[in-house]
Amino acid sequence: MKRNRIFSLIIFLVSSFAFPQTLKTDFPAEQQIDVIENLGGFIPLDTEFYNESGNLVKLSSFFESDIPTVLTLNYFECPMLCTLVLNGLAESLKNLTLNPGEDFQVITIDINPNEKTLFANQKKKNYINGFGLENIKNDWHFLTGDQNNIKKVADSIGYIYYYDAQRDEYMHPAAITLLGSEGKISRYLYGIEYPTKDLKLGLLEASEGKIGTTLDKIILYCYHYDPYKNTYTIFATNIMRLGGIFTIIFLGIMLVGYWKKDKNLFDKDSLNAR
């Protein structure tokens, strides 16, 4: 009984800390947190940041390869929500059957301008080593920058957050953004868990058919993103269309087979008649 009470208390405290960072309508302060989707828009590729090695880089340098990008906005000393978001992403990346660097990349931008390269470098090591993501070591970029550049990127994706001086925390939503070529905003995924299926389908969608196998593209054709459920769901109409196409192909193959068989019999009869 005592253990149950302690466990309940822990859950209550965790919920209390997470609550102000995830709520979208009843906020703990006067300011708002939200994501105003800007699908089809572009992030500003002329903005500059420091990577985890301390080098100044332009965002455009990450978009020279025509592959989709997972973009996250977090801060590295976040006491709760950022860790949950990045943990959820890392878990999904572990099981993702796409090749980092060839099929996708990940960019994490620090929304706290006071955190510098040391924080970014350590955070990257924590996730690469802690989740066994050596395969994505060169393709998950942790960036820091000044307030002006951070704000430009946040505004471009509709990511509304603010700094709460009383808590000494940044209040922000829980979401990741999927980008296509040239930083085009393709899809948003919400929450602290990102099922591998949703992440893969989102990346396939963002690539506009440029990555993935033929089977992956067929699977994507059968799914569509449901904004009310925040996940990809089976699209019955497309499945019926696909079924119809396969039926026509099957019938065509059968008819060709019968036609060839009849032709062979006809040729044999003609030879026998001679």
Three-class SS of residue 147? helix
**Two structure tokens written together for 178:** 């999927």
Please state which CATH number belongs to domain 2-206: 3.40.30.10
**Two structure tokens written together for 92:** 């999904």
pLDDT computed for residue 176 by the predictor: 97
What is the four-CA torsion angle of 148, 154, 155, 156, rounded to 10 degrees? 110
DSSP 42: B
pLDDT tens for the 274 residues of the chain, in order: 444 444 443 433 333 334 344 433 444 445 789 999 999 999 999 999 999 999 999 999 999 989 999 999 999 999 889 999 999 999 999 999 999 999 999 999 999 999 999 999 999 999 999 999 999 999 999 999 999 999 999 999 999 999 999 999 999 999 999 999 899 999 999 999 999 999 999 999 999 877 767 776 676 667 767 777 778 777 544 444 545 454 655 555 666 655 666 555 555 555 555 5
Q: Which amino acid is at 38?
A: N
Three-class SS of residue 133? coil
Which pTM value belongs to this model? Answer: 0.75
Note whether 112 and 77 are within 8 A (CB). Answer: yes
Name the residue ranges covered by the structural domains of the chain.
2-206
